[in-house]
């Protein structure tokens, strides 16, 4: 049954709900202990519904991944080149998409995503996850008409920007929703699933692009856009019946809605009512702990005090997704063609690269129980850096063997990235922000990610293209350098959050624990000092709610 918004009477009732503060702390402790006692196997068996809902809503990112490869692969598609391209001076009688338009088309979607992220900072806090998701699924279905019927590159760029607005919303919403509705032990799996969904879209797009290489005329590039209409309607129907995040409901003081969601998310048992109250108590306790530091949760608070450090981590972890060398994957077809491969060969290799998203995600799931998020993330960066140096070195040779080696190493480096840095990014960015600023902080991080993407989409085509700077595969050396800088930052600034609850992470940041000591530092989130802080915050907040009512 759908979680409909409460009426005005229900809202006021929630606002003045009487609170036994000592009992709240007792419930919070019980909820925390129950969460810690869960093993991975138990959590998967008992929490099938939350996992299913988290994975379902994350499918919205399949559309973004699909379009990302679609539009970038069009630059190497003959039918698209003939329709919108300019004469290629390197190959008389053929056409290509100029580096300027490659950047323009790719950046249009990124600019739209930035607008969507900015909207989502407000909409997700104001209207909750479900309402926001449903509105922008409708937006997405309507926006697809623009690129499908685009008569020129200008209209196509506008259509990409309009589609990008909804993708920007989905980027933040899918990650935060997934991490909030499952137990701690399952967080890395459902959040990294977001990356796999994105990769699934890329894989589907790579297959579609390869299939339409032989389709004549404009249908070759219109068909991939039309296929995006497959997703919005079933996702809209499913989202209507999805439970709201109980964390989001508590932050809005909608306790009845939070209880209703927990009843749907927690497994059936004889003491289910007690478990619901215990989990609700923990959510309220943690929310008040955060409220004591971030009352009001304004945008500017993301850049104040200990939240500035959290925002820095979020921004850098997102940006490193591009700066580690993964930017080359976005232009893989053009990159491979510049390395000497034919168009058909480049599209075939691109399918193998896209499959790495699924294979890598599954392998990373096997690593999560044994290694920390930061360890996996940094190891992947280091492995990619070494392979990028080798690829760049091989680019100085024009032999057939060197070309084959470049293709193999490109696939291997992509697989390393998608076993480590790619999926490990999502639990890190979901866990490091404070709860009351989580939506805003992740949105800011994604804005930085998109701004970094705009810069790289301006530079990378020019580096790779024969009518640009003509670096070809030597571009790998540039990204090996940016990767090195990223590794240095990670060593000094990236904390380990494995097996930490949201409350513990809050206290580690509040006490300014250095990144390298996050693992070894002992935390008691129910100590007398912390509990007293929560009680003061809850009493003050309740007084305000009663006065407002």
Q: How confident is residue 20, by pLDDT bands cut at 50, 70 and 90? A: low
What are the tens digits of pLDDT across the range 210-219?
788 888 888 8
Asked whether residue 294 carries a pLDDT value surpassing 60, the answer given is no
Please state, for a pLDDT cut of 90, what percent of the chain lies above it: 17
Q: Cα–Cα distance between 319 and 453 in angstroms, integer?
A: 8
Q: What is the pLDDT of residue 220?
A: 85
Q: Cα–Cα distance between 281 and 33 in angstroms, integer?
A: 12
Q: What is the pLDDT of residue 338?
A: 62
Query: Between residues 488 and 299, which one has the greater pLDDT?
Result: 488
Q: What is the pLDDT of residue 481?
A: 93
Asked whether residue 172 carries a pLDDT value surpassing 70, the answer given is yes
Are 143 and 165 within 8 A, CB to CB? yes
- Range 410-438 average pLDDT: 84
Q: What is the pLDDT of residue 15?
A: 41
Q: Cα–Cα distance between 253 and 246 in angstroms, integer?
A: 10
Asked whether residue 531 carries a pLDDT value surpassing 60, the answer given is no
Asked whether residue 161 carries a pLDDT value surpassing 70, the answer given is yes
What are the tens digits of pLDDT across the range 217-243?
888 888 888 988 988 999 999 999 999
- Range 462-479 average pLDDT: 79
Q: How confident is residue 545, by pLDDT bands cut at 50, 70 and 90? A: very low
Asked whether residue 245 carries a pLDDT value surpassing 50, the answer given is yes
Query: Between residues 29 and 381, which one has the greater pLDDT?
Result: 381
Q: What is the average pLDDT value for the chain, to the nearest integer?
A: 80
Buried b (16+ CB within 10 A) or exposed e, 38-58: beeeebbebbeebbebbbbbb
- Range 330-356 average pLDDT: 68
Please state, for a pLDDT cut of 70, what percent of the chain lies above it: 83
- Token digits of residue 58: 């994350």
Q: What is the pLDDT of residue 544?
A: 39
Query: Between residues 376 and 105, which one has the greater pLDDT?
Result: 376
> 373-394 and 475-493 are packed helices; what angle lies between their axes, rounded to 10 degrees?
160
> Residue 164: phi, psi to the nearest 5?
-65, -30
- Range 339-354 average pLDDT: 70
Q: What is the pLDDT of residue 292?
A: 62
- The CATH class that applies to domain 47-242+296-518 reads mainly alpha
- Range 447-472 average pLDDT: 79
Are 146 and 397 within 8 A, CB to CB? no
- Range 476-489 average pLDDT: 93
Asked whether residue 528 carries a pLDDT value surpassing 80, the answer given is no
Asked whether residue 28 carries a pLDDT value surpassing 80, the answer given is no
Asked whether residue 140 carries a pLDDT value surpassing 50, the answer given is yes
Question: Angle CA(220)–CA(322)–CA(431) in degrees, nearest 5?
Answer: 115
- Token digits of residue 322: 């591009």
> Residue 96: phi, psi to the nearest 5?
-145, 165
What are the tens digits of pLDDT across the range 95-132?
888 878 887 887 888 888 889 988 988 888 788 889 99
């Amino acid at each position: 049954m759908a979680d409909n918004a409460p009426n005005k009477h229900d809202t006021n009732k929630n606002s003045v709900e009487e609170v036994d503060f000592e009992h709240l702390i007792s419930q919070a402790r019980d909820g925390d202990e129950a969460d810690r006692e869960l093993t991975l196997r138990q959590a998967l068996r008992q929490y099938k519904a939350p996992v299913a809902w988290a994975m379902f809503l994350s499918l919205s990112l399949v559309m973004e991944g699909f379009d990302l490869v679609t539009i970038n692969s069009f630059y190497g598609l003959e039918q698209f080149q003939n329709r919108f391209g300019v004469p290629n001076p390197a190959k008389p009688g053929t056409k290509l998409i100029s580096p300027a338009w490659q950047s323009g088309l790719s950046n249009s979607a990124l600019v739209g995503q930035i607008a969507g992220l900015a909207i989502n900072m407000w909409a997700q806090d104001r209207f909750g996850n479900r309402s926001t998701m449903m509105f922008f699924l409708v937006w997405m279905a309507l926006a697809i008409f623009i690129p499908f019927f685009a008569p020129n590159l200008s209209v196509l760029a506008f259509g990409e920007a309009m589609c990008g607005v909804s993708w920007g919303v989905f980027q933040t919403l899918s990650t935060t929703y997934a991490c909030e509705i499952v137990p701690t032990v399952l967080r890395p799996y459902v959040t990294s699933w977001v990356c796999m969904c994105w990769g699934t879209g890329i894989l589907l797009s790579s297959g579609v692009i390869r299939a339409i290489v032989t389709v004549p005329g404009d249908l070759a590039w219109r068909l991939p856009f039309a296929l995006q209409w497959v997703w919005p309607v079933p996702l809209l129907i499913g989202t209507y019946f999805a439970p709201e995040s109980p964390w989001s409901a508590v932050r809005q003081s909608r306790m009845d809605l939070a209880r209703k969601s927990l009843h749907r998310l927690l497994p059936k048992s004889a003491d289910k009512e007690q478990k619901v109250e215990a989990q609700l108590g923990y959510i309220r306790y943690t929310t008040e702990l955060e409220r004591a530091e971030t009352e009001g949760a304004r945008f500017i608070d993301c850049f104040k005090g200990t939240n500035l450090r959290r925002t820095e981590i979020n921004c850098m972890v997102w940006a490193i997704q591009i700066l580690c060398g993964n930017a080359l994957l976005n232009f893989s077809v053009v990159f491979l063609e510049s390395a000497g491969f034919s168009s058909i060969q480049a599209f075939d290799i691109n399918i193998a690269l896209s499959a790495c998203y699924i294979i890598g995600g599954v392998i990373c799931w096997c690593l999560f129980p044994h290694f920390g998020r930061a360890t996996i993330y940094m190891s992947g960066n280091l492995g990619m850096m070494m392979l990028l140096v080798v690829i760049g070195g091989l680019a100085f040779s024009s032999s057939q063997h060197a070309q084959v080696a470049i293709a193999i190493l490109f696939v291997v480096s992509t697989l390393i990235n998608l076993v480590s840095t790619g999926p490990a990014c999502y639990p890190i960015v979901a866990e490091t922000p404070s709860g009351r600023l989580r939506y805003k902080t992740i949105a800011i991080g994604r804005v930085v990610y998109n701004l970094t993407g705009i810069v790289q989409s301006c530079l990378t085509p020019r580096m790779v293209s024969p009518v640009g700077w003509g670096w070809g595969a030597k571009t790998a050396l540039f990204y090996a350098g940016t990767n090195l800088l990223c590794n240095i930052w990670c060593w000094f600034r990236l904390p380990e959050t494995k097996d930490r609850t949201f409350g513990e992470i809050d206290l580690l940041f509040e006490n300014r624990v250095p990144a390298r000591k996050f693992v070894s530092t002992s935390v008691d989130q129910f100590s007398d000092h912390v509990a007293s802080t929560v009680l003061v915050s809850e009493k003050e907040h309740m007084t305000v709610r009663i006065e407002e009512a």
